[in-house]
Amino acid sequence: MKRYIILTLLVISVNLFSYSILEEFSGNYVGNMDARITAMGGAGTAGGNRLFDSFLNPANLTEMNSKFGFQTSLKVLKNTEDRNLPMYDFFSGYVQDAVYVSNVDYYADLAAAAYYKQKFTDFNVVFGLHYKPFMNFDADYEEEVRNDENSDNDNYPPIIAKNYIESEGQISNIGLTAAVKYRDIAAFGFEVMHLYGDANWNKDIVWTEAARELTSEQLDDFHSKLERDFSANTVKVGVRGNITKRIGLGISYLPKIEFDVDKLEYQIDGTAAPDSVFRDYISPARLRAGVSYEPRNIMRTFFNVDVEMVNWSDVNSLYDDELNYYVGVEHIYKHTIPLRFGFSYQTYYQHIDDSGVHYANEVTMPAFTAGTGFRVMDKFTVDLGAKLGRREYDALDLFMDSYYDHYGLWQDIQPADRGWERPDSVEETFLEVKASVSYNW
Rounded to an integer, what is the distance from CA 115 to the centroid of its chain?
27
Q: Name the percent of the chain in helix, strand, coil, to the closest 5.
A: 10, 60, 30
The pLDDT, as a whole number, for residue 38 is 95
Dihedral pair phi/psi, residue 67, rounded to 5°: -80, -30
Rg of the chain's alpha carbons, rounded to an integer? 25
Structural domain containing residue 223:
14-440
- Note whether 372 and 339 are within 8 A (CB): yes
Evaluate whether residue 6 is within a structural domain.
no
Residue of 185, 245, 175 whose CA lies nearest to 62: 185
The pLDDT, as a whole number, for residue 17 is 30
Distance CA 342, CA 299 (A): 19
CATH classification at residue 405:
2.40.160.60
Evaluate whether residue 370 is within a structural domain.
yes
- Note whether 217 and 407 are within 8 A (CB): yes
Q: Specify the number of domains making up the chain.
A: 1
Evaluate whether residue 266 is within a structural domain.
yes
Evaluate whether residue 4 is within a structural domain.
no
DSSP 315: T
The pLDDT, as a whole number, for residue 154 is 57
- Note whether 197 and 228 are within 8 A (CB): no
Per-residue pLDDT of the chain (441 residues; tens, 9 = 90+): 333 332 222 222 223 233 677 777 788 888 889 999 999 999 999 999 999 999 999 999 999 989 999 999 999 999 999 999 877 655 666 666 788 899 999 988 899 999 999 999 899 999 999 999 999 888 899 999 987 655 555 567 788 999 999 999 999 999 999 999 998 899 999 999 999 999 999 999 999 998 998 888 999 999 999 999 999 999 999 999 999 989 999 999 999 999 999 888 899 988 888 887 788 899 999 999 999 999 987 678 999 999 999 999 999 889 999 999 999 999 987 667 899 999 999 999 988 888 788 888 999 999 999 999 998 888 899 999 999 999 999 998 999 989 998 888 887 778 888 888 888 999 999 999 999 999 988
The pLDDT, as a whole number, for residue 16 is 29
The pLDDT, as a whole number, for residue 94 is 62
Evaluate whether residue 5 is within a structural domain.
no
Task: Report DSSP letters for 171-183, one per residue.
Answer: EEEEEEEEEEEET
Collect all residues with Cβ–Cβ distance below 8 Å to 276 and sequence separation of at least 6: none
Evaluate whether residue 301 is within a structural domain.
yes
Alpha helix (H) residue ranges in 304-434: none
Distance CA 9, CA 298 (A): 52
Evaluate whether residue 9 is within a structural domain.
no
CB atoms within 10 A of CB 249: 16
Rounded to an integer, what is the distance from CA 143 to the centroid of its chain?
22
- Note whether 170 and 215 are within 8 A (CB): no
Evaluate whether residue 3 is within a structural domain.
no
